[in-house]
A = this chain, B = another copy of it.
Amino acid sequence: MKATYRVVAVPWSPSLICMEAVMMIHTEPQHLNQVVKEMKDHLNQDEYAEIEETINALEPVQVIKVLSRLSHRHRAIVYRLLEKDVALTVFEGLSPALQSDLLGALQEHETAEVFLEMSPAQRVWLLDELPAKVASKLLLGLDVEERNQTSTLLGYPDEAIGRRMSPRFVALEAQRTVAEARQYVDEELATAETVYYLPVVNDGRRVLGEITLRSLLRSDDAKVLKDIMRPTHTAYVTENAETVARRITRQGAFATAIVDDEQRLVGIFTLDDAARILEYEESQDVSRQGGVEALRRPYLSTPVLRLVRSRITWLLVLAIGGTLTVQVLSVFEDSLEQVTALALFVPLLIGIGGNTGNQAATTVTRALALHDVEPRDVFRVLTREVRTGFCLGLLLGTLGLVITGFIFDFDVGLIIGLTLLAICCVAASVGGVMPLIAKKIKVDPAVFSNPFISTFVDATGLIIYFLIARAILGI
């Protein structure tokens, strides 16, 4: 059976195709749960032969899933039983945090081996996770060229595209002919990161354009590259990685040339790396918007204490912010004692305020991420949000007036209606403008997140409510 695999280089025999494929669609999660369960049983019984057989029958992407669901210690055992060529693919597919966990459990020579096989950009992802001591040891284990390539990337700022680019590109000189270029590409087939995107440079290594392998194959041998090249997208090596990743995704470009201050080619950045960065950033943004730190590990393999840690900071900050509402209410305690009914609407009113603020913040934060809006648009955003808030407030306020007026009395209805109108205007404006201010002062807009806005709007909303109530009830 194993022999058959090797011959056709497909990890299933024809008779297995149906089973494999069906598994991929409908039963994957259940099937993997089953595998994980078996694996744990085997692990507890120290049945290594069975583990080896099971794990090596899976595709790399499935192995990654299984490893993600095992405990720290078990993960290292199972990983060691993987066939060597699969092991590397699997390792590269793990999140950097899990890679770092795993390295800690491997022997020194195993670690060095894995590290050597990684691409420079992947090494940088991993090094960012490791303790400085381990990191420098690994770096010293590389040969000079590999080490230089990796160190160059490490030299760029944290968020820069320079840290994520590939220094292994195939650049073509503009005055070469198609035939010469083809031969050059042929020689580089084995080692380059990609040969599908070929930047064209002048003799000073300045980027002039690009040629795809496809158009190189389609063109006449005698043509000169500068006559057939097309404009290429470029990005500065110090530009923000997420911005560049989003740009090439939008453009549907396969890759972009990375240049230094003098327009000299220093690397290329491909779509698959862009996709990886965007997924990472998505996790960060979604988390921050919900007021948690991103886990960077699969949920089920994150210890409970780490879950607690990912939440406690923001929860404390918000709790302290929340004490503002206690203080506001203390100020109006007299009014509350006179008309206890006022207390009944407090959660409803601040709830609606919080939601309105969240909606505005969500919309504007997203628009910022897509560069549909910039901080300098603050007045345009403010105008739109005030108007939007006013419309929402008018609708909800009228409803509130009618319903509360009907159930309680007209005065209460009027208080609720007016408060809703005012709160919606304030909440939408604050929610819309806050992300822009954050961006302007170079804080991640998602950090002034929805919970933060809710807390702020809560306190403001209470003040508005009691001022209106006092005015109308004359207390």
Give the contacting residue for A344; candidates B228, B330, B450; CB below 8 A: B330
Give the contacting residue for A10; candidates B229, B318, B322; CB below 8 A: B229
Please determine whether A305 and B259 come into contact, CB atoms closer than 8 angstroms: no
Number of interface residues of A (CB under 8 A): 143
Q: CA separation between A251 and B89, bound complex, in Å? A: 9
Q: CA separation between A295 and B295, bound complex, in Å? A: 29
Chain A 207-234 interface mask (CB, 8 Å, partner B; 1/0): 0110001100110000000111111011
Is residue A106 within 8 Å, beta carbon to beta carbon, of the partner chain? no
Q: CA separation between A218 and B271, bound complex, in Å? A: 23
Q: CB-CB < 8 A to A305: which residues of B?
A: 391
Is residue A425 within 8 Å, beta carbon to beta carbon, of the partner chain? no
Is residue A189 within 8 Å, beta carbon to beta carbon, of the partner chain? yes
Q: CB-CB < 8 A to A227: which residues of B?
A: 7-9
Q: CA separation between A246 and B17, bound complex, in Å? A: 23
Is residue A409 within 8 Å, beta carbon to beta carbon, of the partner chain? no
Please determine whether B249 and A209 come into contact, CB atoms closer than 8 angstroms: no
Please determine whether A363 and B329 come into contact, CB atoms closer than 8 angstroms: no
Q: CA separation between A29 and B440, bound complex, in Å? A: 13
Chain A 315-347 interface mask (CB, 8 Å, partner B; 1/0): 110110011011001100100110011011111
Q: CB-CB < 8 A to A318: which residues of B?
A: 351-352, 355
Give the contacting residue for A206; candidates B17, B286, B323, B365; CB below 8 A: B17
Give the contacting residue for A278; candidates B229, B275, B326; CB below 8 A: B275
Please determine whether A462 and B311 come into contact, CB atoms closer than 8 angstroms: no
Is residue A11 within 8 Å, beta carbon to beta carbon, of the partner chain? yes
Is residue A371 within 8 Å, beta carbon to beta carbon, of the partner chain? yes
Please determine whether A213 and B196 come into contact, CB atoms closer than 8 angstroms: yes
Is residue A150 within 8 Å, beta carbon to beta carbon, of the partner chain? no
Is residue A314 within 8 Å, beta carbon to beta carbon, of the partner chain? yes
Q: CA separation between A228 and B8, bound complex, in Å? A: 8
Is residue A57 within 8 Å, beta carbon to beta carbon, of the partner chain? no
Q: CB-CB < 8 A to A228: which residues of B?
A: 9
Please determine whether A24 and B299 come into contact, CB atoms closer than 8 angstroms: no
Please determine whether B391 and A18 come into contact, CB atoms closer than 8 angstroms: no
Is residue A173 within 8 Å, beta carbon to beta carbon, of the partner chain? no
Report the copy number of this chain in the oligomer. Answer: 2
Shortest Cβ distance from residue A394 to the other chain B in the assembled complex, whole angstroms = 10
Q: CB-CB < 8 A to A7: which residues of B?
A: 227
Please determine whether A271 and B282 come into contact, CB atoms closer than 8 angstroms: no
Considering the complex, give the chain B residue whose CB is closest to the CB of A239: B25
Is residue A419 within 8 Å, beta carbon to beta carbon, of the partner chain? no
Please determine whether A286 and B388 come into contact, CB atoms closer than 8 angstroms: no
Chain A 190-207 interface mask (CB, 8 Å, partner B; 1/0): 100001100000000010
Shortest Cβ distance from residue A370 to the other chain B in the assembled complex, whole angstroms = 8
Q: CA separation between A12 and B208, bound complex, in Å? A: 9
Please determine whether A374 and B307 come into contact, CB atoms closer than 8 angstroms: no
Is residue A429 within 8 Å, beta carbon to beta carbon, of the partner chain? no
Give the contacting residue for A358; candidates B93, B290, B388; CB below 8 A: B290
Is residue A272 within 8 Å, beta carbon to beta carbon, of the partner chain? yes
Question: A319-B348, A372-B298 are contacts. A289–B286 as well, Cβ < 8 Å?
Answer: yes
A–B Cβ pairs within 8 angstroms, 5 of them: A252-B276, A282-B282, A304-B391, A322-B352, A329-B346
Which residues in A have some Cβ–Cβ distance to B below 8 Å? 7-12, 14, 17-18, 21, 24-25, 29-30, 33, 59-61, 64-65, 68, 92-93, 186, 189-190, 195-196, 206, 208-209, 213-214, 217-218, 226-231, 233-236, 239, 246-247, 249-254, 259, 263, 271-272, 274-276, 278-279, 282-283, 285-287, 289-292, 295, 298-300, 304-305, 307-308, 310-312, 314-316, 318-319, 322-323, 325-326, 329-330, 333, 336-337, 340-341, 343-348, 350-352, 354-356, 358-359, 361-367, 370-374, 376-377, 380-381, 384, 387-388, 391-392, 395-396, 399, 450-451, 454-455, 458, 462
Contacts beyond the supplied A278-B282, A299-B367, A299-B373: 19 A-B pairs with Cβ under 8 Å: A8-B226, A9-B226, A9-B231, A12-B231, A18-B263, A21-B236, A24-B235, A271-B271, A286-B289, A289-B290, A290-B359, A300-B380, A300-B384, A304-B384, A314-B355, A318-B351, A346-B347, A347-B462, A355-B451
